[in-house]
A and B are shown apart, each in its own frame.
Chain A
Amino acid sequence: MTHVRINNLTKAYSGVDAPAVADMDLDIPSGRLIALLGPSGCGKTTTLKMIAGLIRPTAGDITFDGDSIVRIPPEKRGAVMVFQNYLLFPYMSVGQNVGFGLKMAGVDPKTIDQRVKEMLDLVRLPDISDRRPKQLSGGQQQRVALARALITKPRVLLLDEPLSNLDAHLRDEMRELILSVQRDLGITTIFVTHDQEEAVLLADRIAMIFDGRLQQFASPDVFYRHPASERIARFLGGVNFLPGRRQGDTVETDVGSFRFAPGGEDERPPEDGLLTIRPEQIVLGQPTAENTVQGKVVSRIFVGTYTRYRLALGSHQIEAVRSADVAGDFAEGQDVPIGFPADRVWMVRPDQAA
């Protein structure tokens, strides 16, 4: 149970203009499972390695339970990292791999054997202690790597892209395993991923990172309901953006004005920005509903469990998805009422670049 705090953490490389990580602030309460989410090269792995002690920060501080650890070498931090490609030592048996941490800690061989057995049981791989890593499948290697990391009862567990090298059904299995083990042991866990789905499925809270900067740190549902910026919304699959001006709880756009439900205190939408709504939240064909405007179907793709529409709305085009369960269909060229439920629309600040 370790409370991890990151203050103004910065990593700059000489000869490179933009820092890899800039002024990162994160407060991770003990026992939580946190995702660092962002596109590749955004600095999330650099942040993880700084926590592990493998990269020295240029500025800023990292504390475990209030004690700064940036000057402590990696082997004494109690933060164990599991790399993306597992890195099981190839010339050691599975048992020796799992027991490595305890051997380094000077634990006697008998206790190590016993603990190795416990850990392999925990990751549901009993009786493979004598095998070589080469003889294991990718999923098994991943679980052995997890067992090896957990055997020393680390204060902080760091996972680099824990699911990305696994195929679909192994992912589900591994996700369940990580969740249950993390809950059981209560280890503060930080993992890095570029896959928003992975982050949403695993994490208590997600730290969204672009260009080395923390963009938003919130629980997964907040990211979907109230993204902070157009870029975040787009990263999470948002496609509908209408420029507008907010006055109180109403947004004026050139296709009409929309009311929306304000968020909490710390989620203050900008005055000038983009109105956004996820495609699956749009209500079609209910002319009397609130926030409804008239549009036209441009194209229609039937995907099976749902139908995807492209809609013309004034000079804009937006996308809507309608579940196959909902009755009614709209042909191309047909006029259709488009509803934006007030608790589903949100204002985001536009991209600087756009």
Chain B
Amino acid sequence: MDILYSIFADPFVQMVSLPDFFIQVLWEGLVAGVLYSLIALGFVLIFKASGIFNFAQGIMVVFAALAMVGLWELGVPGWLALILALGIMYALAYGVERFVLRPLVGQEDIILFMSTIGLTFMLIGGGQWIFGGEPKTMITSELGLPTGDTVWEPFGGIVIFQHLDVAAIVIAGGMIAGLAFFFSYTKIGRALRAVADDHQAAVSVGIGLNQIWVVVWFAAGIVALVTGIMWGAKSDVSFALQIVALKALPVLVLGGFTSIPGAIVGGLIIGIGEKLFEIYWGGLIGGGTESWFAFIIALVFLLFRPQGLFGDKIIERV
């Protein structure tokens, strides 16, 4: 009975009796969720446009942030380091298209997926080679990101909002809006959607697949850089982030591989869910549940709705 009580009743009693703490947990989960959404967004961009499941998105986040901080450490001013890091991500996108994707056109999806695992290893090795393996501190103030916090006092308790987290949410929102605008109203955006819909039809009306892929990978690189900055500001820029970034995969499963709103909603659900579970239930089984909770949720979810919340219905033919 004690066990049943501590699973089904006690956590809710705690939530009600300490509402300020509950709000704080929700807020932290929300912020983590936004970051998961951002990584998942990078995956979705590439998956939509080329059908490639880009395993390297996580390491791209680390690589972009490391490149920027590394440049800054060389004495480049913060804003210039940001621009140069964007340039590096463009070079990466171009190189990936030219040397990995173009020779692999028409191969099975699984081969392409494995090639991105190979790319992951190249970026891990290359990143450690160039920038060193030790964690670096993100140049928060040089980029003009706010520090400090606001304290809100509801129900006689306190809830702390880090300004950095607020900025992360605002920037993420802005970027998603920008991407939505880019996809809907620009010429390249329309071309991207055409490619996502049907490769061959897109090629036959004169859209160059190669350039489109460079653009998509560059867009994913920009998303990676922004994610890296935000995440690096919250903790450090280290290669451990790459493992955390894998959590974007359950986010994708939850939201559907082809849906941008799905990536966002999925990220928020996972972010908030894992924080709540860890705080209120994790203690029962030894804690540290954040490493797997997202995956198990996605697994259970998959059994009931394999295409995700917003994904296209999976139709198979012989």
The answer to whether A and B assemble together is no
Residues of B within 8 A of A (CB): none
